[in-house]
Amino acid sequence: MKRAIIMLIALTSLGFSAYSKPYVYSDISAQYFLDAEEGYISRRENLGNEGARIQFLTKVIADSGTTFEIRARDYIDTRNRESKNAKSTDDLRIRGIAYLGDYQRIRMQYIESFAYREFEFIDFINVTGAIPTIPYLNTVELAPRLLYSSEDGGYDTKLGGLSLYTHFILSKKINFRINWHEYYIDSNTYRGTGFGRDIEVLINARKLLGKVKGTEFHVNIDGGLDNYYSILYKNFDRFSYDNNDSYSTFIMPTLDISYKNVYASLGFEYRNFGGNNSGDNKWRWQPSFTIGYSKEF
C-alpha cells in the first residue's frame, strides 16, 4: 500500500504548483440498501441483501484539473448476519489524476479492503479531433488499462485492455456517456483466463429550480445502464468455457442544495440487477443523503 500511495502522490503533485489555486471538497454521505442484490452492499464480501453504506470523501482539484482524492467507505449489515466479520466491510480508495498537456491524462488508483487489494492504471488519450464530426459529440477518449488485484489466500487477477469513452452534450441541461471496455483477464480466483466486456450508458439531466436568499436549488437525475458485464472464461483444468454475464440499470433523482461553500443532496436510487450471474431481477430502492463543504485556497 505504501508504494501505491507514494506513486499517486508523486503523480498528482506534478499538476500542482505554487501559482495554482486548488479547490478542496470534503463530504460525508450515507446510502441505505433496501432489498439489494445479494452481496451488492459490499463488493468484497457477501453480507446479505439489506444494509447501509457510510462514505467519507476528500478531493483536491488544481487549476490544471489535476486531482487527488481519498475515499473511505464502511458497509454495515443491518441484519447483523456477519457481525463477526464487520472489519471486512471497510473500503479505502486513493485516486490521482494528472493532465499531460491538452490531450492526455493519467489516472492511477489503489483500493484496499480487509482481504482485498487492487491497483489500476489508465491512460486517457483524447482523439476527438481525429474522427469525423458527429452531432452532439463532445469528447472521445481511448484508454489503455492495466489492473492487478490480490486477495488473501494467494488469489490474484491480472487484467489488460482498451477502453473507449464518449461524452455527448445534448443541451446545457442534458448529457450522456457511452463507455466500452474490452480486456483480457488471467485469474486464479476464477481458475481461468478469458476475455471480458463492460458497457456503460450513463445519462445526466440537471435543472435549476430557483434561488432563495443566496441558496440554490437544483434537481438532478442520473440513470442508465451501469453496467453490462460479460466475460468468457477458459478454465485451467478443462477445455470448456464458462460464460458469465450480468447487468444493472438504475435511475437516481436528487435534490441538490448549495449555500456559499456548503452543499447537500437528498435523493434515492432505484436499481435492478439481471443476467445469468445474478439473483432475481427486480427493482430496489436505495435512499441516500450527502452533506459537504468546499473551499478555494
Contact status, residue 144 vs residue 120, Cβ threshold 8 Å? no
| pLDDT tens-digit readout, 149-181 | 988 777 788 889 999 999 999 998 999 999 999
Give yes or no for a cis peptide into 126 (omega within 30° of 0): no
Which pLDDT score is estimated for 222?
Answer: 96
Banded model confidence at residue 42, pLDDT cuts 50, 70, 90 = very low
pLDDT top residue among 2 and 28: 28
Least confident of 144-153, 167-176, 277-286: 277-286
- Round to whole Å and give the CA distance between 177 and 186: 29
Per-residue CA distances from 225 to 166, 176, 180, 211, 292 (Å): 15, 11, 12, 33, 28
Banded model confidence at residue 37, pLDDT cuts 50, 70, 90 = very low
Q: How many domains does the chain have?
A: 1
pLDDT at 5 over 80: no
| pLDDT tens-digit readout, 178-224 | 999 998 888 776 556 778 889 999 999 999 999 999 999 999 999 99
Which pLDDT score is estimated for 142?
Answer: 97
pLDDT top residue among 99 and 258: 258
Contact status, residue 41 vs residue 33, Cβ threshold 8 Å? yes
- Between the two ends of the chain, the Cα-to-Cα distance in Å is 29
Its domain, for residue 254, covers 2-296
CATH number at residue 143: 2.40.160
pLDDT top residue among 57 and 246: 57
CB-CB neighbours of 71 under 10 Å? 16
| Residue-wise DSSP of 23-60 | EEEEEEEEEEESSPPTTTT-SSS---S-EEEEEEEEEE
Nine-digit cell string for 133 = 464530426
- Round to whole Å and give the CA distance between 16 and 18: 7
